[in-house]
Chains A and B, each alone.
Chain A
Amino acid sequence: MASNPSPVQIRIQGLEKSFGPKRVLDGVDVDIARGEALVIIGGSGTGKSVLLKHVIGLLKPDAGTIQVDGVAVETLGNREITEFRRKFGMSFQEGALFDSMTVFQNVAFPLQRLTKMSRGEVRDRVEECLAMVRLEGVGDKLPSQLSGGMRRRVGFARAVAHRPEILLFDEPTTGLDPVTTALIDEVIIDLSGRLECTTLTITHDMESAFRIGDRIAMIHRGKIVAEAPPEEFRRLEDPRVQQFIHGRADGPLTDETGPPAQQVGPTGGEGPRTI
């Protein structure tokens, strides 16, 4: 690895992506420093997940670039991208656990695929990772036997098993009760602290965004519209930010039917929209 500990580890510039006529990302610019925990918030269908999938090379941008440690992700070929992805651990919405495998096999999977560990080392590491997410002793269970919160945590254990430098969390708390959400947030903070990872989390849960993030950025209509550390973010005067933080149905997020960006087309969003 070229060791140049530049403060910026992930740099996203002018990222654009459309699906058919629908423009999902419309020039996203954001930097993430090494060791930082960035949380990106935004309504459903604002392209948050799409952004995350670009960072790890599951999607290719139409325009713009994503650089991770100075390497442009979109230029990597099939082989290089496999190597590149070792840096990452990704936790998916709902966990995305392999439902034909036990919890143990799920967490062991990246170790068998990405490392040359022996059986014993794999077993130790899996147990260690399950302990980190506070799930000792569930190794023999199938994902279908676990609760939603437990499945997410198994997903975290699987994501961190091979000791990645960067952790990506896709809506880690969506659909969970407040207590479980708080627990998940704690686990995330704990993991990123202990493993000294850079983390990028996307969520629409403001509570957990404030808890997890060193810095919060808001995405709306395919662009980053605000970014600041949590305390500052809370006080931002941007009406869109305030509407989102306070979860109001009326406001600029929901009534931008026409201007200012007519050519952009509908980017989803919760509110009523007449296009």
Chain B
Amino acid sequence: MRLPGPVEGFFTQMGRFVQMIGRVFAWTLRPPYDWREWLRQMVRVGVDSIPVVFLTTLFTGMVLALQTFTTLRRFNAENFVGSLVALSMVRELAAVLSGLIVAGRAGSAMGAELGTMRVTEQIDALEVMATDPVHYLVVPRVWATTLMLPLLVGMGNAVGIAGGYLVAVVLMGANPVAYVDNTFQFLELNDLFSGLIKAAVFGFLLAVIGCLQGFYTTGGAEGVGRSTTSAVVVASIAILVADFFLTRLLF
């Protein structure tokens, strides 16, 4: 019996996804270790994403403060803007937004790069020269992203909170001391950690998905385009779905 096309496609993808994760783990600790490649990927995913993550979280923090300040003022609760911004950023927004942005930046690049290598037979060439392509290409990308996204989110947390401070204190005239006090009053270490755990999971997911889409590319330049697109689309959806379950699990 043959399954209908989309259903079969879904299960094929899921199978490849699980298999890819298995291969990544199986190859991670095996020599030769290509530290230079790991470092190169960390720079590409992490350092190069600093500007976009900075801007995204800055403006998100600012908008959050802007929106909530006017609302909370009606209840004379404008002091709580600080904790609201901090909690939203740290627990949720910094991780999800950075995940989505990095999926668009680095995940798509992985899809395009591996896709091009597939259609120009560079991946076959690796295999022929006794080099497992998952080991050589996927492992450094996946762990670099898993490692760098929490760092980006750590920065994003600070930037978002600073953005909120700017709007509330400078623009709206809130009391700076009360605002800062309030910001850290309800923030627990647990909030911070769960946000960073989320970030690591999102990083892992987006890199595996980006590499996966590239790895199974067929059909020339058009196929590379398809892989690039689906690297972003699938990773974004995966991040949002995973976010729900992680939030349920962690809080």
Give me the interface of A with B, judged by CB distance under 8 Å.
Answer: 53, 56, 58, 82, 85-86, 88, 90, 92-94, 96-99, 109-110, 113-114
Contact = CB atoms under 8 A, between A and B. Distances in A.
Interface in B103-156: 116-117, 120-122, 124-125, 127-131
A88 to B, nearest CB: 7
A113 B121 contact: no
Nearest to B113: A100
Contact of B125 (A82, A86, A96): A96
- Tell me which of B117, B121, B129 has the highest count of chain A C-beta atoms within 10 A of its own C-beta: B129
A65 to B, nearest CB: 20
A56 B121 CA distance: 14
A113 B131 contact: yes
A214 to B, nearest CB: 24
Contacts, number: 41
Interface in B75-127: 116-117, 120-122, 124-125, 127
A97 B120 CA distance: 9
Given A56-B128, A82-B130, A98-B122, 8 more contacts: A53-B124, A85-B128, A86-B130, A94-B120, A94-B121, A97-B122, A98-B125, A114-B130
A113 B130 contact: yes
A58 B128 contact: yes
B130 A92 contact: no
Contacts of A56: 128
A109 B121 contact: no
Contact of A110 (B116, B117, B121, B129): B129
User: Lowest 9 CB-CB distances: which A-B pairs, in order?
Assistant: A96-B121, A96-B125, A92-B121, A110-B129, A82-B130, A90-B128, A96-B122, A113-B130, A113-B129
Nearest to A91: B125
Nearest to A59: B124
A90 B125 contact: yes
Given A85-B130, A86-B130, A110-B129, A93 B122 contact: no
B38 to A, nearest CB: 15
A114 B129 contact: yes
A93 B125 CA distance: 11
Interface in B178-224: none
Contacts of B120: 94, 96, 99
Contacts of B116: 99
A110 B130 CA distance: 8
Nearest to B129: A110
